[in-house]
Structure 1
Amino acid sequence: MTSLFRLRWGFAWPTAVAVSLACFAVAIASDAWAQDGSQRRSVTHSDGTGAPCDAGYRADPQGGACAPIVLPENAFATGLAYGEGRACKHGYLPSNGGDECVAVNLPDNAYLTERGDRWECDRGFARREGNCLPIAIPENGYLTTNTYDGGWDCERGFRKESSACVAIAVPEFGYPTNTDYGRGWECDRGYREVDGACVAVRVPENAYLSDRSYGRGWMCERGYSETTDSCSAIVLPENAHLDHNGNRWTCDRGFERRGDACVLRD
């Protein structure tokens, strides 16, 4: 009996699987296509029977039935499952509680943004009380894209002061940095700022100019160490060598420093 049951089930289960797959395919097809042959939109609202609403319809929140979406003038159906199912056309925006689409009030010297429901001012104009007014550029100034900071900036060698561009007083052997902070200038290479002037850096023998903003402006060559205003040759004790920078010495391996000598470790 058991063998007979297994034999019958062995013939029956492929048929059952095939029927299940066919029913699943029919369900998908019926959900993807409307009765008129047009493809349905992916919506989740239902008319109470479990079937989704057709495109252009939305479930009534009171009764659950599919009701047509009311489109005001200059609006279109979005076909989306969320929101109101409608939106205003390019160049229009919702008004009167969202029941109307009114034209965007575009002032002179302005253009619609990509979304089409807002506007921005043309280059050279700034938003002022719903209008686009010309940006006043002072002498030695130029237009920028940053309208939040006035829409203009000063040429190199000048600095913003109120609504004007004022020349930066750069000392001899200096150059303007074109920054809004600090003194607005720096000294040329080989010079350092001293009391508002650029003074030449005196480089001692066996030294070279340094690009560091701190210190004396010079560094000793390898094998020399810095003293007050000069570079002195480093005297290496026995069993010692110059360190990585070359301006000090350290003991060889197996030795340790004691005073100015390197001795064997205990």
Structure 2
Amino acid sequence: MDSSYDQGWRCNRGYRAVGESCVKGEVPAHAYLLDSIHGFGWQCDRGFRQTQDRCVAIEVPANAYLVRAGDDWKCERGFQRIDNQCSPIVVPTNAYLDDRGSEWRCERGFRKQGAGCVAVRVPTNAFIGYAGDDWSCEAGFRKQEAACVAVPGS
């Protein structure tokens, strides 16, 4: 911080107060000077991360991209971050990638079981439920174990 400001003067951009004088601040490679009325400051360029007093390149693996701020990365759609790599998401039969592309979901009429999708067995007098991964009984019937039985008086 520019402590000289209280004395009626301040250092120009890129300099910092040291006692009664202004000393040019060092900006490391791959960095830029910040606009500040309080003295000297810098920030790393996009694609670089600050490590102590320098900027080091961010290693972006295959099938990844820098995030908006530019100091981290994310995997592309269809890939997941495992350690420092992007590995493909294995989409089983009767499944699809979700909207974000970061995980898979079973198609309607199938439910997730382990690393795959199994068909929902729909008994007589039943239908696939709203969520698509289970069944419900039609009107006048109730669920009893794996079947739909008539409700008395219906």
Query: When the two structures are superposed, what TM-score results if normalisation uses the length of structure 2?
Result: 0.83
Give the secondary-structure state (helix, strand or coil) at the position aligned to 1:47: helix
CA contact 2:78–2:101 (8 Å) conserved in 1: no
Identity of counterpart residues, as a percentage? 41
1:94 aligns with 2:50: yes
Which structure's residues are more often helix, by fraction?
A: 1
- CA RMSD for the aligned pairs? 2.5
- Point out where structure 2 has 5 or more consecutive residues left out of the alignment: none
* Larger relative contact order (Cα-Cα within 8 Å, sequence gap ≥ 6): 2
Moved over 6 A (4+): none
Matched AA of 2:25: I
Q: What is the match of residue 169 of structure 1?
A: 121
Distance apart, 1:50 and its partner CA:
3.0
Q: What is the match of residue 35 of structure 2?
A: 79
Distance apart, 1:193 and its partner CA:
1.3
Give the secondary-structure state (helix, strand or coil) at the position aligned to 1:193: strand
Change (3 A) 1:81 1:118: farther
Q: What is the match of residue 61 of structure 2?
A: 107
Q: Which moved more, 1:123-132 or 1:84-93?
A: 84-93
- Point out where structure 1 has 5 or more consecutive residues left out of the alignment: 1-43, 205-266
Q: What is the match of residue 196 of structure 1?
A: 146
Q: Aligned partners of 2:64, 2:16: CA distance in 1, in Å? A: 37
Larger radius of gyration: 1
CA contact 2:95–2:106 (8 Å) conserved in 1: yes
CA contact 2:11–2:39 (8 Å) conserved in 1: no
The correspondence for 1:155, drawn from 85, 99, 107, is: 107
Pairs within 5 Å for 1:27-176: 45-47=2-4, 49-60=7-18, 63=19, 65-80=21-36, 85-95=41-51, 97=52, 99-144=53-98, 145=100, 147=102, 151-176=103-128
Which structure's residues are more often strand, by fraction?
A: 2
Change (3 A) 1:170 1:73: same
Change (3 A) 1:81 1:93: farther
Aligned length: 151
Matched AA of 2:2: H
Q: Aligned partners of 2:91, 2:118: CA distance in 1, in Å? A: 13
